[in-house]
Amino acid sequence: MAMLLSACAKTNYPGGDVSPYVGIYDVRTLYKDHPITLTAESLGGSSQITGWVISDHRGGNLPDGLLIVQDKRRLDFQRGIAIPIGSAATDYLPGDSVVIDVLGAKLERVDGILQLTGIGTDKIMRVANGLPTPARLVTIDQILQRPNDYESTLVAIVKGGFNPMPQPGETLGGIRTINDGFGNLSIETDASAAFAGQTLYKMANYFGVIFNHVSDSGTLVPYHKPRRKEDIVPLLSEYAVPKVIISGFASDPRGTDANNEYIQLLVTEDIDFSVTPFSLVTTNNANASTPTGFPANGWATGGVRTYKFNLNTGIARKGTYFYVGGTNKRINSTNSTVIAEANWITSYAYNTNPGFDYGNATTNLLANSGNASGIAVFEGTDVTKESVPVDVIFVGTGGSLFNGSNIGYRITNTDWYDIINPVDMKEQPFYRAGTNVKALTYHTPSDAGYFYMLGGEYNLSLGRWTKARTQGSFLMTKETQLAEIEGETATKLMENE
């Protein structure tokens, strides 16, 4: 026991040294709605922050005198901070790496922006320059939900369009609203900015720094400030208004699927299908589906891989739903509500008949689990491997879908998919190519009777999705009525803002 006590009392371990560097994340968490002076104690023994500069005053649009720095020191969380240093802020460029002594600085919110005040240029050391400063790809809803986290950081908002649609001749200067399909956010461009007179694009990527105003109630209201003309990148893809939109489907009704699956669609204009025919193709990529391997002819592969319906009779009025599927016309398979009163543009016994032009008779248009399944709508009835759909949606990600080059299922520009990558501008015309990886997930358990209710809002005036579709999982019963799958959570068309 004496030896044990002696061993505990004496040690050669010197203890750990506190790092002189503290993450910006940790500094920001010290602010509790009132100014605080940073001390060695409050910083846990540290005294400096490090990071890379993201401010760029050459465009004349950032708040005067603010040096904006961000880092990812704490748990890879990207956080930024503003430091007022007067005219010296123009001496720093994006990609400069700096070390800043923050002891004695005051952490306070000035003009809505959390700042480290009281730091002179003598406390800032530039250690490198020309480093890459990648912007964080975010959606507007993420910024709106956590404005403090995104403040003073460099972000990229892709597929942004103005809401409302600008009039001819309008320019960027002033306060405008952009929408990326996930929310609305103010973009502010000073009248004196070098690019204030830039013509407004229909759709573009917006790089820049997020700042905050403080509302009368004390909440943070985020806004976006592009730094230079180069921060606004127009998109090359054409985003045409689709005449038909996929709004939901029942791929696994409760009971037998054969002749009971159906797809719900919404029209954005009046369509007489005898005059303007369309087609709908489903794909089922289960491992046993033939032909195996990558789909050599895309949506036109046929066999057990793809099944085609022609839509060449009937009328659907703008803003209404119509249906394509089996002839049983029941909402949730055997012994469930008959929905024959719905607008069935094509009802066809797919379990006993081959598809229109291609596709073997099948008991499952769409898989219930496992590899990816999908739906694509085409204008016209001549669908080949080169045909581009007007709308498309996928469930799941597995299977032989895209060979990395020129064989796969073609997509179109939607709220989920882009023919041209909106970030690097490279072509990606297939599902699973580039950023085209978004998919619904299969419902579990199977055979429960779920309806995939996609929702979302499509603004006809803007010609784009202002609220992207999401997976709504509506669990049907045998007594479910048609109005329940065409209700308030279903896809909507908007005529104006």
One domain, residues 248 and 160? no
CATH number of the domain to which 62 belongs: 2.40.50
CATH number of the domain to which 454 belongs: 2.60.40.1260
pLDDT per position as a tens digit, 315-331: 999 999 999 999 999 99
What's the pLDDT score for residue 9?
Answer: 44
> Which carries the bigger pLDDT value, residue 24 or residue 496?
24
Q: Please state the rounded mean pLDDT for residues 228-235.
A: 94
> Which carries the bigger pLDDT value, residue 8 or residue 477?
477
One domain, residues 351 and 241? yes
Q: Per-residue pLDDT for 143 more than 70?
A: yes
Picking from 191, 215, 234, the residue at the C-terminal end of a domain is 234
One domain, residues 416 and 316? yes
Picking from 128, 149, 167, the residue at the C-terminal end of a domain is 128
Q: How far apart are the first and last CA of the chain?
A: 80
The answer to whether position 2 is within a domain reads: no
The number of domains in the chain is: 3
| CA dihedral sign, ordered 433, 437, 443, 445 | positive
One domain, residues 373 and 422? yes
* DSSP 8-class letter at 166: P
One domain, residues 422 and 345? yes
Cis peptide before 164 (omega within 30 of 0): yes
One domain, residues 147 and 162? yes
Residues 6+ apart with CB under 8 A from 302: 308, 355, 357, 358, 359, 360
- The length of the chain is 497
Single pTM value for the model: 0.83
* DSSP secondary structure letters along 124-159: EEEEE-S---PPEEE-HHHHHH-HHHHTT-EEEEEE
pLDDT per position as a tens digit, 438-458: 999 999 999 999 999 999 999
What's the pLDDT score for residue 496?
Answer: 59
Lowest-confidence segment of 9-23, 104-118, 242-256, 280-294 by average pLDDT = 9-23
Q: Which two tokens stand for residue 59?
A: 């465009």
| Rg of the chain in Å (alpha carbons) | 28
What's the pLDDT score for residue 240?
Answer: 84
Residue 331's closest CA among 480, 489, 443, 448? 480
The chain-wide mean pLDDT, for the chain, equals 93
What's the pLDDT score for residue 378?
Answer: 98
The answer to whether position 197 is within a domain reads: yes
Residue with tokens 């029941």: 330
CATH number of the domain to which 197 belongs: 2.40.50.140
Picking from 234, 255, 282, the residue at the C-terminal end of a domain is 234
One domain, residues 77 and 203? no
Residues 6+ apart with CB under 8 A from 317: 267, 270
One domain, residues 218 and 151? yes
One domain, residues 360 and 409? yes
One domain, residues 153 and 215? yes
One domain, residues 298 and 429? yes
One domain, residues 180 and 227? yes
Which residues span the domain enclosing 405?
Answer: 237-497
The answer to whether position 17 is within a domain reads: no
The answer to whether position 10 is within a domain reads: no
Q: Per-residue pLDDT for 16 more than 90?
A: no
Beta bridge partners of 224: 187, 210
The answer to whether position 312 is within a domain reads: yes
Ramachandran class of 227: left when φ > 0, alpha when ψ lies in -120 to 50, beta otherwise:
alpha
